[in-house]
Amino acid sequence: MELFIDFISPYAYLAAEKIGELDPQATVTPILLAPLLNHNGQKGPAEIPDKRRYTFKHISRMAHDAGLRIQPPPAHPFNPLLPLRLAILRPDLILPIFRQCWRDGQAIDTPESLLPLCDEATLARTGEAKQQLRENTERALRLGVFGVPSLDVDGEIFWGFDSFPHVRAFLEGKDPVDPELVAKWETLPASASRL
């Protein structure tokens, strides 16, 4: 099981906190959400005012249900490149970075904001992780990942923290998805298009 995350997503924070309950051996892989959105011609939730407002209400409800505290960071969206590269160098910092941002409401997008989590020498090496982040993101796209958090479970992609119950059902062999209906859905002709 592989969980794809970007620190820009509060839903990815919840998923990172709870992934161990699905699979203690799951891999958490940092990717950059922006290229996924660009690839699919989408805007992020924070770029649509009504969706931005709803998203924080929704994430507040989901965090409550998960027993987690949620606090918005000082700015959103923010540039997640530095913390993502740091997480590639130091996977043990994934949860601390998420918690600093989404639990404690602190910035994570500058070297100064990340110094409580690591030293300057480590931060100075984040450029080394640039290519790995690009490769992680490209691999996620090839797998069909279009948002974060996403889980790859034996080649089946699940999107969103709210899909965790469906992942459990899939792992138990109780997935209600009918492959024949999915194939039919994929080949339905469009009778209208949006300009």
* 180 inside domain: yes
Per residue in 24-51, pLDDT tens? 999 999 999 999 999 999 999 999 999 9
Q: How far is CA 122 from CA 92, 98, 114, in A?
A: 13, 18, 10
Per residue in 107-137, pLDDT tens? 999 999 999 999 999 999 999 999 999 999 9
User: Which pLDDT band holds residue 194 (cuts at 50, 70, 90)?
Assistant: confident
Q: What is the CATH number of the domain that holds 41?
A: 3.40.30.10
Q: How many domains does the chain have?
A: 1
Contacts of 110 (CB under 8 A, 6+ apart): 82
Q: What is the extent of the structural domain holding 135?
A: 2-187
* 193 inside domain: no
Tell me what the pLDDT averaged over the chain comes to: 96
Instruction: Judge whether residue 195 has pLDDT over 80.
Output: no
* 117 inside domain: yes
